[in-house]
Amino acid sequence: MIRKLLAEELGRLLETINREQHFLYYSYLTFRKNQTVHYGQFSECGELLGVTAFLKGLSFYAFSVYPLQTSFRFRSVLTRMKRDLELPDGEIGSFIVNEDEWEVLNAEIDVMKPPAGILLMKHRHLEDLPLGDDEVFRLDPSYFDMIESKMAEFHSMAFAREELHNPFYGVVQDQELIAVGGYHIYSDDYVELGNIGTDAAWRRQGYGKKVCAELTRKGRATTPHVYLNVLEDNLSAVRLYQSLGYVTVCKQYIVEFGL
- Strand, helix or coil at 173? strand
**Structure-derived torsion over alpha carbons of residues 222, 223, 229, 232, reported in degrees to the nearest 10:** 120
What CATH class is the domain 123-252?
alpha beta
CA distances from 38 to 122, 175, 185, 212, 225 (A): 27, 44, 20, 33, 26
Can 2-109 and 123-252 be said to share one CATH topology? yes
pLDDT attached to residue 184: 95
For residues 35 and 73, is the Cβ–Cβ distance under 8 A?
Answer: no
pLDDT attached to residue 95: 96
pLDDT attached to residue 110: 85
pLDDT in 10s for each residue of the chain, 259 residues: 999 999 999 999 999 999 999 999 999 999 999 999 999 999 999 999 999 999 998 889 999 999 999 999 999 999 999 999 999 998 999 999 999 999 889 888 889 899 999 999 999 999 999 988 899 999 999 999 999 998 888 887 778 888 889 999 999 998 899 999 999 999 999 999 998 999 888 888 999 999 999 999 999 999 999 999 999 999 999 999 999 999 999 999 999 999 9
Rounded Cα distance, 184 and 147, in Å: 14
Identity at 146, one-letter amino acid code? M
CA 208 to mean position of chain CA atoms: 19
DSSP annotation string for 13-26: HHHH--TTTSHHHH
pLDDT attached to residue 58: 84
Is domain 2-109 classified as CATH 1.10.12?
no
Rounded Cα distance, 96 and 22, in Å: 9
pLDDT attached to residue 55: 96
Rounded Cα distance, 29 and 52, in Å: 12
Domain ranges in the chain are 2-109, 123-252
Q: Which of 75, 96, 93 is nearest to 21 (CA)?
A: 96
